[in-house]
Amino acid sequence: MRELDTLSIIGGGIGGLMTALCLDKLGVDYKLYERAHTLKEIGAGIWLSPNALQVIEWINPKLLEEIRESGNTFDRILIADHKLKPISDSDQQFVREQFGYTTMAIHRGKLQKILYSYAIQENIILDKTFEKYSRNSDNSYSIKFHGGSTISTKSIIGADGIHSTVRKQLFPASKIRYVGQTCWRGVANFEIQGRLASIGFTLWGKKLQFGISKIANGKTYWFAVKRSKPNGKDDKAILKNQLTEMFSAFYPFVNELIKNTPIEKIIRGDLCDLELLDSWHKDSICLIGDAAHSMTPDLGQGGAQAVEDAYYLSYFIKSSEKIENAFEKFFTYRKAKVEKLVTQSRITSKIAITNRFMEKIRNFLLKHTPKKIFEKQMIDMYTLKKLPTEKA
């Protein structure tokens, strides 16, 4: 067994890599273990809102610029009916004036590769699938990986997603909640034309939802949501026909997107979130991102909140004498905002796909809610809480 790690991060997704970059910035020693043998450009799209972009800029302005050049920035965020008639239309100039940039979309796999390229390479160990941990007599931990290899570490950060193996061992009573909806995601070989290219938008239909955003030249990310029983399976031979029929009443380019997506690039997944935990840590083990507080994607904040986690957790690790104190401060500091967003995402998930009567009420309320209320909600969501040493 090799030398004892000071800190071991489990998971090389957005949350894990961002934590690594934040620790690099602050000069904190760590090792990150990722199960993938190589980092490939897999998955679909992700939105990065200004709260995430502020952290990325703090790490390295060049990193922010590379991400922006590899993605697509929004001038507007739109919720419309299935025929593209606006229900809620938010010009993002007020966000740009407040933060210097607006929300952008990028391929998740592309983002992961960029983040990896900026990390200290010798601290990232690939092809290591976490199996379990055990506590040693000196209060350090032994981590066992698939295949039998082991390492010893003083502390663990579980950044291994909603189905976190670390969380299952740390908090075995934790529960993942299925929200009653299934989502198909894809990246189409399709160029959105004109003003629509700079809009992130979601179309709400009859118990259906379809989201669209350009993520690069000639590449458009989309997601399709419907009510469904969990654990369904697709027949790839007929899936495109099923989806195009399902969304046949929607604005015409919806089906163009589906048709122009390679079948192997269409990903099915049940939409779930994590029942709120009483704590994200125990002793010298802490959870972050989806492993700690997974939320439905309806607010586009899952990735951004993992980025915020990385920022605050790295600060508390750097500034605390004991890692247990850092984990407790982190949870206390982040709990209120994260739990509010989890709850708001659940509510939005319910109202996005509802019955015809409630749909009319929903649309009326959204259309007649004062713009200032929506703007304040966005500003609050995108604002980073001041670190304890900063002046308010």
The angle, 0 to 180 degrees and rounded to 10, between the axes of the packed helices 14-26 and 302-319 is: 30
pLDDT tens digits, one per residue of 95-120: 999 999 999 999 999 999 999 999 99
pLDDT of 2 higher than 60: no
The CA angle 121-123-127, to the nearest 5 degrees, is: 85
pLDDT of residue 1: 42
pLDDT tens digits, one per residue of 230-287: 999 999 999 999 999 999 999 999 999 999 999 999 999 999 999 999 999 999 999 9
Contact (CB, 8 A) for 32 and 21: no
Burial 62-81 (b: 16+ CB within 10 A, else e): ebbebbbebbbbbbbbbbbb
Average pLDDT over residues 129-153: 95
d(CA 17, CA 23): 10
Domain ranges of the chain: 8-72+101-175+275-352
The domain 8-72+101-175+275-352 having CATH identifier 1.10.3720.10: the answer here is no
pLDDT of residue 284: 97
pLDDT of residue 331: 98
Burial class of residue 349 (count of CB atoms within 10 Å of its CB; 0-12, 13-18, 19+): buried
- Look at residues 310, 386, 301 and name the one whose alpha carbon lies nearest to residue 339: 301
- Across the beta sheet with 8-10, the strand order is 124-125, 31-33, 8-10, 156-158, 285-287, 281-282
Question: Could you tell me if residue 86 is left (phi over 0), alpha (psi between -120 and 50 degrees) or otherwise beta?
Answer: beta
pTM for this entry: 0.94
pLDDT of residue 61: 97
pLDDT tens digits, one per residue of 297-353: 988 999 999 999 999 999 999 999 999 999 999 999 999 999 999 999 988 887 777
